Structure 1
Amino acid sequence: MIKAIYRVLEGKVFLSSTVTERMICRSIGSDNYTDQSPIESLSDRELEVFELIGEGETTRQIADKLNLSPKTVETYRENIKHKLNLENATALIRHAIQWVLE
C-alpha cells in the first residue's frame, strides 16, 4: 500500500498485479486468465456504473456523473444484470454494494 501511495505521489500510475495481469491478457486477446470472475466480464463502462451503483448512486446521479442519459444507464444496468446472472434490481444493488465493500 505504501508503494502505491508513493508511486501516485510521484505522478505515476499504480496497478495491482491482478489488474496488470488482466490488462495484459485482454490486450493480447488471451482467454487464459484463470482467476476471472463474472465481474471481469463487464466492460470498463459497465464496471464504472456497477461501482457507482454500489456506492448508492441513483440512475439519475450516475447519468449526471458520467454525462450519459438515464436511459443509457438503465441499459448498462440491464447488461450488468444479464452478465452477472442477477434476477432483479435489488440483487444488482446488493451485489454492487458487496463488491464495493470488498
Structure 2
Amino acid sequence: MKPTGTHNYFVYILTNKNKTVLYVGVTEDLKERLYYHQNPISEHNRIPFTTKYACYYLVYFERFEDVSQAIDREKQIKKWSRTKKESLINATNPEWRFLNDEI
C-alpha cells in the first residue's frame, strides 16, 4: 500500500490524428494505459473504441491523489458537450499538441 499523498490517478482525453474524436478515461498509470490504447488486447472479439476510432493521442490530463475524485471527474467530463471538452483542452493545450512523449 502506498503512503498517503503518493497515489496518482489520471483523468485523460485522447483524440485521433485529425482531432475529430475525443475519448475520456481514468487510470492509475497513464504511461501504461497509453501503451495499451495503442496495443489493445481484444476481448470477446470486440474492437475497443480507441482502436476503432484511432484515438491514441493524449491532448489533456489531470492528476488526482484520490481515486474517487478522479472517477467523479471522469464522469463529469464524459457528460460534457464536445465544445466544453474542447475548452478544457484549449485552457492548457491550445495547440492540441500530442503529449504522449511527455509522459
Shared fold (TM-score, shorter chain, > 0.5): no
Q: Of the two, which has the highest radius of gyration? A: 1
Q: TM-score with structure 1 length normalisation?
A: 0.31
Q: TM-score with structure 2 length normalisation?
A: 0.31
Q: Which has the higher helix share?
A: 1
